[in-house]
Amino acid sequence: MSHITLIRHGQANSTAKDELSYDQLSPLGHEQAAWLGEHLRHSESHHTRLYTGTLTRHIETAEGMNTGLEPIRDARLNELEYFTLANLMEQQHKVPFPRAGEFVHHLPQVFDYWKAGKLADTPETYENFETRVQSALAEIAEGEGPALVVTSGGLISLAMAQAMGVGIPAMARLALAIMHTSMHRLFPIGGHWSPVLFNAVPHLDRPDRRLAQTHM
């Protein structure tokens, strides 16, 4: 098994309330991606493969990183449709769409209702989300050399939660903590994934970039 470094995309359209309008990097998101790529080059990080989801924000982030690696795009690495799930929560359970500052309570509730099958007409089941993420990462791990995977926060939180064997409340807390263009590494130890890096943003850890350490 090869180790995998998961990367959350750069900041997207933080004012969006639907999947389509969210799926584009903000000007800051493009900067974050370029800074991360610069850090990887200067630190001489060794990666032989680059994977992304098929969402625009994944592709733009990978392009901005300018790794020199040819990206392999895999729809299994796409994010869960949070905005769609949030709108279903409002329609079916009268739980209003969250305003700024309310995601800390809203996100775990969405995850819980989704996993419990309390939402009808979802784009995919929670079980399908789990399965596609597991299968994609397992295939990547079988390849030669360390891999970079540009994806989204929900998928990263699921991968980390699975590696640690924790449930929905902890998974939601992980998701809420994940910053844009942060790095998260899964390392194979004894045939299992072990998280050896979480939410690392060395490219943003300097005084003139502290405000670029964004979550939303």
Q: Which amino acid is at 109?
A: Q
CB-hemisphere CA count at 13 Å for 130? 12
Domain ranges of the chain: 4-212
Alpha-carbon 56 to chain mean position? 13
Q: What is the pLDDT, as a whole number, of residue 44?
A: 86
Q: At 190, is the secondary structure helix, strand, or coil? A: coil
Place of tokens 């360390």: 146
The backbone region for 101, taken as left when phi is positive above 0, alpha when psi lies in -120 to 50, beta otherwise, is left
DSSP 32: H
Distance CA 140, CA 108 (A): 28
Residues 6+ apart with CB under 8 A from 172: 107, 108, 111, 157
Per residue in 75-124, pLDDT tens?
999 999 999 999 999 999 999 998 878 889 999 999 999 999 999 999 99
Q: What is the pLDDT, as a whole number, of residue 75?
A: 98
Considering the domain 4-212 in this protein, what is its CATH number?
Answer: 3.40.50.1240
Per residue in 69-80, pLDDT tens?
999 999 999 999
Per residue in 41-67, pLDDT tens?
999 888 999 999 999 999 999 999 999
